[in-house]
Structure 1
Amino acid sequence: MEVRALEEADLELVCRHREQMFRDAGRDEAVLQTMTAHFREWLRPRLRNRTYFGYVMTDGHDPVAGIGLMLIDWPPHPSHPASDQRGYVLNVYVEPAYRRRGLARELMQLADAEFAKRGVQYAILHATDAGRDLYAGLGWGATTEMARPITG
């Protein structure tokens, strides 16, 4: 397996991985199509200016796993009292034929190292049921976050 940094040319790969991740989690197909169209336009400039970054694992020339990372503004907080940003992990995906080989674990270790290199002291992610045990095994814990849709 080879690992490389995400590039602007990975736009469609990241979109495909994100859509498949949510499909695997049981999300509605019509919603996924709408989400991906909007995500593609959101992602394009962020890949270009590298505010969305991360890694791709390849087997030969074939991409088989990926992870997205971002830095997000966040006020100083008891979990990071001297810092005004958090790391954010998203779009962790491993192709089905490559699962159970430790690739997601390796991607998460790369994320930790990248955040540390950038001075990030605290990171968050939203886990699917499929990823929850992996993240817990790496020391990630549940938070008190709650959410709801806002309607007109």
Structure 2
Amino acid sequence: MISEQTSADRSGAIFRPVTAADLDLICRHRHEMFKASGRTDAIVQPSTDAFKEWLKPRLDDGSYFGWFALVDGIEVAGLGMMVIDWPPHPSHPLQARRGYILNVFVEPFCRGQGFARALMEIAVEEAKRRSLQYLILHATAMATPMYEKLGWNRTSEMSITLPVHP
């Protein structure tokens, strides 16, 4: 079970699990995360609206979980996590699943204070508790150095966006 509250070490924050009541906050964090990576509101808003509809049932059933860092009772950082179905792979040859970390966001006035690092440590502990062998995430340029310091490696993933025809 995900711990109810844990005190942070050097950040001084209190950490709590996300709940279904956090739907709007998670969506705001995700929206701001994409804006911080260089996208405009006009580009991000359609995906934010669709993400909110996608997220609600996953918060309700617990398939999307995560944590917030709170300072003086205010959520200043967050991280989401899922266990996703994935075929066995050379990186995890005996498991048909991966841990997926998403929506890592720290409010601009709190960046560089260790909140994202502490949230990542909580996520890794949860992955170990769930016996997950392999974790993935998509990193922004801003966050890549932190992930590398935490032992994460770049992968060879590529993508393509195809037109949708209704």
With structure 2 as the length reference, what TM-score do the two structures score? 0.89
Query: Could you report, residue by residue, the CA deviation over 1:52-94 in whole angstroms, capped at 9, with x for unpaired residues?
Result: 0000111122110000000100011110010000000000001
1:42 aligns with 2:84: no
Cα distance in 2 for partners of 1:23, 1:41 equals 20
Cα distance in 1 for partners of 2:43, 2:51 equals 12
Counterpart of 2:22, as a letter, is: D
Cα distance in 2 for partners of 1:96, 1:31 equals 20
User: Secondary structure at the residue paired with 1:78?
Assistant: coil
Aligned match of 2:80: 68
Aligned match of 2:24: 12
Cα distance in 2 for partners of 1:53, 1:31 equals 26
Counterpart of 1:84, as a letter, is: A
Aligned match of 2:42: 30
2:103 aligns with one of 83, 87, 91: 91
User: Secondary structure at the residue paired with 2:155?
Assistant: coil
Identity among equivalent positions (%) equals: 48
Structure 1 unmatched ranges of 5 or more: none
User: Secondary structure at the residue paired with 2:139?
Assistant: coil
Counterpart of 1:67, as a letter, is: L
User: Secondary structure at the residue paired with 1:130?
Assistant: coil
Counterpart of 1:36, as a letter, is: T
Aligned residues: 152
Counterpart of 1:20, as a letter, is: E
User: Secondary structure at the residue paired with 1:106?
Assistant: helix
Cα distance in 1 for partners of 2:107, 2:150 equals 21
1:112 aligns with 2:124: yes
Aligned match of 1:101: 113
Structure 2 unmatched ranges of 5 or more: 1-12
Counterpart of 1:64, as a letter, is: V
With structure 1 as the length reference, what TM-score do the two structures score? 0.97
How does 1:136-147 map onto structure 2 within 5 Å?
136-147=148-159
* Greater fraction of residues in helix: 1
Cα distance in 2 for partners of 1:88, 1:3 equals 19
RMSD: 0.8
After TM superposition, the runs of 4+ consecutive aligned structure 1 residues lying more than 2 A away are none
Cα distance in 2 for partners of 1:28, 1:65 equals 21
Counterpart of 2:141, as a letter, is: D
